[in-house]
Structure 1
Amino acid sequence: MAEVITISDAQDPRIAAFSAIRERDLVGREGRFIAEGTVVLRMLLAAHHANAGIRAEALLLLENRVAGLAPLLEEWPDDLPVYVASAAVLDAIAGFHLHRGVLALGSRLTAPCASDLIAGLPEKALVLVGCGISNHDNVGSMFRNAAGFSADAVLLDETSCDPLYRKALRVSVGSVLSVPYAREQSGIALLSALDAAGFMVAALTPSGQTEIGAIASGLKDRQRLALVVGTEGEGLPPEVLARFMTVRIAQSSRLDSLNLGTASGIALHCAALALGKLG
């Protein structure tokens, strides 16, 4: 197990990357990220040991969490630092009260472009695409659903928020570190590339022409499907709805729409069943 290093000064330069977390989250970390909580830490370790383009860099713990985390600390690389601090020092470092007491610093070493990611997808493939997703909770839910229903990748347009943002990572229960993704280009450009690669593109909207449960008949001989979701409220851009197949989720008349996390989960479940991706 790596040596445990006690930090008694919130200004200690060795833990500078953990300081003022919220402010740094807002401006971006250029490929680096903060993983918060034991579940996300476990996913970070799995990705690190799998050489999946994700690297762990450092760990910062509340001093009374060390004993309970012994099994995970055994998996932590011996050459990477493990820092511990009291609650007061840890809160001063982070800039807010950190009740979970577990922070890890990681980095995404490789970020495949969308075209390479699409080119590497299998013949039977399911992709979730987000256009203009500006809420980090929604991005996290997309990745959690994608992992839960065996999606092969998540594609986000350039206006969507960063999946490596701490809250998105936490809501995804670390699935951002295991599901392949790319974030670039316009929604239309991403969907056009998927269309050219033989994907049936299905845009989710309450006014969709096809009910999601009938998606299997639309696939016919094709075994490649891209489900597209837009931001809550405005939904998908008109050019997307005009160009591609639209699908809806049948629901009670008491509400006009579902939140993005629920809608993407239902749609992915139906799509995964249609493609035979679930046991």
Structure 2
Amino acid sequence: MRILPITSLEHPELQDYSRLTDVALRRKLEPAGGLYMAESEKVVARAIAAGHVPRSMLLQEKFLPQAERLLIDHPDTPVFVGSEELLEQLTGYRMHRGVLAAMHRPELPSAASVLANAKTVLVLEDIVDHTNVGAAFRNAAGLGADAVLVTERCADPLYRRSVRVSMGTVLQVPWTRLPSWQESRELFHEHSFEVAGLALDEHAVPLQDYARQRPERVALLLGTEGDGLTRRALEAADRTVIIPMLHGVDSLNVAATSAVALYALLNN
């Protein structure tokens, strides 16, 4: 294992870990640099098991046994070791989950290849909260969705917080980004998917009724935390579905909605 004690924060490869709490900065740097962050032994293990390649690792000395277990097949990966105070100064937060790895970002598959053998997919439109994205992926994995598709303006599923909240399942569930809604609607129909949008719509079908008569292939479409689905997304939907609410509550959090809807569709 290639252990490199940190003597200076100016080392070029340490820039991958600089200011990790600056979301705006990381949105620009991580996709452009072709990397993402995997945090904790479990998440890094899932990333490596998925075929993703670590380009370096950052940790305190006490977590070296974790790195040794993870890097059996990647012995030349640089492992930067520093004190808790030094790592906090570098990253902007207190590292207490063990290893942190900068991973090479894999090339996304085409939407057509993701849909080819799927029957139930979750579509996230313009969701900006990384926690909700990660939770939706965890729900998709746990409840048995075949894939997740996200729009161009949706938060990055490989952002550090998304990966952590998903418990690494974002590294297991097939996913990719969609093109424009016009192209996407044609793509779904070419693969015999019915697009069902979760929306507060007077013509919406109650979820339990829709689940009882669901078509073979369904793309379940969820919108932003505040405004829900955009007009273009609703135009692309073949029908709208609603989860009936009580006590004056009009809707659930988007992550909770994904769990309820997937459970209904996959357990009817």
Using structure 2 for the length normalisation, give the TM-score.
0.88
Stretches of structure 1 lacking an aligned partner (at least 5 in a row): 49-53, 275-279
3-state SS of paired residue (2:158): coil
**Residue 277 of structure 1 corresponds to which residue in structure 2?**
none
Q: Which whole-Å CA distance do the structure 1 matches of 2:41 and 2:229 have between them?
A: 35
The letter for the 1-side match of 2:35 is R
Which one of the candidate residues 50, 54, 63 is aligned to 1:56?
54
Q: Which whole-Å CA distance do the structure 2 matches of 1:214 and 1:72 have between them?
A: 49
Q: Which whole-Å CA distance do the structure 1 matches of 2:68 and 2:8 have between them?
A: 27
Identity within the alignment, %: 34
The letter for the 2-side match of 1:121 is N
User: Map of 1:105-184 to 2, 5 A cutoff?
Assistant: 105-118=102-115, 120-122=116-118, 125-184=119-178
Q: Which whole-Å CA distance do the structure 2 matches of 1:72 and 1:252 have between them?
A: 50
Q: Return the offset for 1:86.
A: 0.8
User: Map of 1:1-279 to 2, 5 A cutoff?
Assistant: 2-23=1-22, 24-30=25-31, 31-48=34-51, 54-67=52-65, 69=66, 72-73=69-70, 75=72, 77-118=74-115, 120-122=116-118, 125-207=119-201, 209-219=204-214, 222-242=215-235, 243-274=237-268
Change over 3 Å in CA distance of 1:78–1:136 after alignment to 2: same
Write out per-residue CA displacement over residues 148-189 of structure 1, whole angstroms, 9 at most, x where no aligned residue.
111111111112121111111111111111111111323453
3-state SS of paired residue (1:28): helix
Q: Which whole-Å CA distance do the structure 2 matches of 1:58 and 1:201 have between them?
A: 41
Q: Which moved more, 1:173-182 or 1:88-97?
A: 88-97
Using structure 1 for the length normalisation, give the TM-score.
0.85
Q: Return the offset for 1:114.
A: 1.6
Alpha-carbon RMSD: 2.2
Is the 1:156–1:183 contact (alpha carbons within 8 Å) kept by the matching residues of 2?
yes
Is the 1:231–1:260 contact (alpha carbons within 8 Å) kept by the matching residues of 2?
yes
Write out per-residue CA displacement over residues 39-96 of structure 1, whole angstroms, 9 at most, x where no aligned residue.
3222112212xxxxx22222111222234x2673464622222221111221122133
Q: Return the offset for 1:6.
A: 1.8
3-state SS of paired residue (1:4): strand
